[in-house]
Structure 1
Amino acid sequence: MKTIKVVVIGGGLVGLSTAICISESLPQCEVTVVSESFSPNTTGDVAAGCLIPHTYPDTPFEQQKKWFQETFDHLFKIANSAEGADAGISLLTGWQVYKNPPEEAFPFWWDVVLGFRLMTPTEIAKFPCHKFGQTFTTLKCQSSLYLPWMEQRFKTNGGTVQTGKVESIWQLYGKYNIVVNCSGIGSRELIGDLSLYPVKGQVLEVHAPWIKHFIREGNGNTYIYPGITGTTLGGTRQKDDWTLSADAKISKEILDRCCDLEPSLRGVSIIREKVGLRPTRSAIRLEKEIFSKNGQQLPVVHNYGHGGSGFSVHIGTAKQATRMVEELIPLVGQFNVMSKL
């Protein structure tokens, strides 16, 4: 069987999960990940990693639900295995509360998570400024554990990682048969996708071991997610803000909002402030493209633009990207993509 050389651009959550999926599903592929940064210096390292989907306006709910279901099922198996602790994946129960009831009491993903139901009046009474709520159990990935665990799993499967910046897709021509673009916000510069934009997120990690349940406002801007090493308080959604520095005023606003939800956080010890740029589009870009130049052709699979929902759908999108790579393999022989030795 001919070896197919695949390169994945991007070593974050989406890139690593896609590389693992390809290497485990397509044994004829030799997979390399090339990235400027790996954990702990990726966008995914900033995220709380709680599986509660955001919506993509230009993607049908059926497709979004499929991605979420595949991701939830995959991570649930890991959480229930001997690897759960090393991977940093665990179950987390909590409340999603609203000052005004949403149009739909049951979101499209309600039957994917565990035990979804509407909160009782007694439960709502804990949040005097809110009138409606939902409670359920979902999964949480501790990014500081999950991302290194994925990288090690990829290497154990025979994968290779390289640190470096890909300035142009064409610099990979002659080295690889298929390129998988998981460069996140970098795709704006790498392939000129101006529909992609950053949404800055700032969060606080605090020491609050007494917090055992997540609390999230329905708009998703204010949330409290307990984790293994600390509790994440958030957050912000600052569109088109490229700055990676934390704003002390915003940190205070985040803490005040979270204390309104959970008064026991008053005076909490802050471990660190974290900032990341969510790579956002109206829809995740998941498609095949054949790059052509001077009679040369290079097949590419795009998988980027996950915004603030990366942890919720990353396995589902990795599986779809892997199917696209598989569809391209029979065409590889038609392309003059490998240098003559």
Structure 2
Amino acid sequence: MKSVRVVVVGAGVIGFSTAVCIAEALPLCSVTLLADKFSPETTSDGAAGILFAAKFPDIPLERQKCWFKDSFDHLLAIAQSQHSPEAGVMLSSGWQIFKEVPADKKPFWSESVIGFRNMTEAELKRFPDHKFGQAFTTIKCECSSYLPWLEKRFRKAGGKVEQRKINNLQEVSHSYDIIVNCSGLGSKTLVGDNMVYPVRGQVLKVEAPWLQHFIRDGDGKTYIYPGIHSVTVGGTRQEDDWRLQVDEEDTQSILVRCSRLEPSLTKAKVLSEWVGLRPSRRNPRVERELVQLQGRRVPVVHNYGHGGWGVTLAWGTALDALGLVRQCLREKQLQAKL
């Protein structure tokens, strides 16, 4: 069977993870990654990139567990290798704290992270407004390093990279045999998906090298994540808000809330402010379909709509997308024999 031409649309953490999985596992495919924006301009670049997850309502829990575990194991191997500093992947320990005891004290991902346990009374004393907490070690993946590292890995596997904007799938349907759509929020226009919507996130990078542990409020709106070069503090979750400019009120609110959890932050120098739009959906779309494009039926594999959990689930859903590409190839082989 001669080389099958595959195009992956989107250069965020989902797009590059998916492209790497396909290029490395399927040498008979020639894989091109196509996008109008690359690192450091992607939404993934500003993500805090710390691994834990929320439950999606309509996806079997076992599948969500696999997504999380596959991503965690993949990044853990990088964190424990010589590639760790270049890839921007590190272990991170800390606390998730709750003002009220959550219904689910042991989330589905707790068995994949390291050393998960409930916090002791003594540990909770530090957070007098909070009644319950969990302590564990997870992974922080900094996409400003990780995306260029993945791009190198993709090119090494024979992948090609092209920077251009496409407005619809027709534009690429003649040049490729299989289309893989990882366009995030762009899927709203690219494939007409009205179920994907923006959730605006604003974060600050601050200089506070004395901070070694992450702190996350269970509501997901206030968090402090020490990284390799700086500490990410946030944040906001503003649904259907398309504003990309920094909001000064949000900046002040973030600093006040984070300093309440970690008073030493009042001494930290703000290095940068950033806004990104998370590509949210009730459930991520990881599935395939046959689409009628310019008179022929083209297999399209979708992998988008991860919201704020893109870094957390990228490798797991990329492996799923790889499985869907394999199914497309099997059907092509069958058709070729008929």
Task: Please indicate the TM-score interval, normalised by the length of the shorter structure.
Answer: over 0.9
**What amino acid sits opposite 2:61 in the alignment?**
F
Instruction: Look up the match of 1:99.
Output: 99
What is the deviation of 1:332?
A: 3.2
Change (3 A) 1:314 1:232: same
Instruction: Look up the match of 1:245.
Output: 245
Render the CA deviation track for 1:233-267: whole Å, top value 9, x for unaligned. 01100000111101001100011000010001013
> Does residue 207 of structure 1 match 2:207?
yes
What is the deviation of 1:60?
A: 2.4
Unaligned segments of structure 1, at least 5 residues: 337-341
Report the TM-score, using the length of structure 2 for normalisation. Answer: 0.97
Report the aligned-residue RMSD. Answer: 1.3
Instruction: Look up the match of 2:310.
Output: 310
**What amino acid sits opposite 1:185 in the alignment?**
L
State the alpha-carbon separation in 2 of the partners of residues 261 and 166 from structure 1.
44
Instruction: Look up the match of 2:162.
Output: 162
Change (3 A) 1:192 1:334: farther
Change (3 A) 1:271 1:335: farther
Is this contact kept in 1: 2:23–2:157, CA < 8 A? Answer: yes
Is this contact kept in 2: 1:69–1:316, CA < 8 A? Answer: yes
Secondary structure of 1:319 counterpart = helix
What is the deviation of 1:69?
A: 0.3
Query: Matches of residues 219-230 of structure 1 in structure 2 within 5 Å?
Result: 219-230=219-230
Deviating more after overlay: 98-107 vs 205-214: 98-107
**What amino acid sits opposite 1:329 in the alignment?**
L
Q: Give the count of matched residue pairs.
A: 336
**What amino acid sits opposite 2:29 in the alignment?**
C
**What amino acid sits opposite 1:69 in the alignment?**
K
Change (3 A) 1:294 1:245: closer
Is this contact kept in 1: 2:208–2:268, CA < 8 A? Answer: yes
Change (3 A) 1:236 1:219: same
Instruction: Look up the match of 2:179.
Output: 179
Instruction: Look up the match of 2:258.
Output: 258
**What amino acid sits opposite 1:280 in the alignment?**
S
Instruction: Look up the match of 1:319.
Output: 319
State the alpha-carbon separation in 2 of the partners of residues 214 and 55 from structure 1.
21
What is the deviation of 1:294?
A: 5.7
Instruction: Look up the match of 1:198.
Output: 198
Query: Matches of residues 1-341 of structure 1 in structure 2 within 5 Å?
Result: 1-293=1-293, 295-332=295-332
State the alpha-carbon separation in 2 of the partners of residues 153 and 230 from structure 1.
26
Change (3 A) 1:295 1:142: closer
Deviating more after overlay: 306-315 vs 327-336: 327-336
Render the CA deviation track for 1:181-216: whole Å, top value 9, x for unaligned. 000000001111001100000001100101100000
What is the deviation of 1:293?
A: 4.4
Secondary structure of 1:282 counterpart = coil
Secondary structure of 1:33 counterpart = strand
State the alpha-carbon separation in 1 of the partners of residues 42 and 73 from structure 2.
25
State the alpha-carbon separation in 2 of the partners of residues 326 and 37 from structure 1.
27
Report the TM-score, using the length of structure 1 for normalisation. Answer: 0.96
Secondary structure of 1:317 counterpart = helix
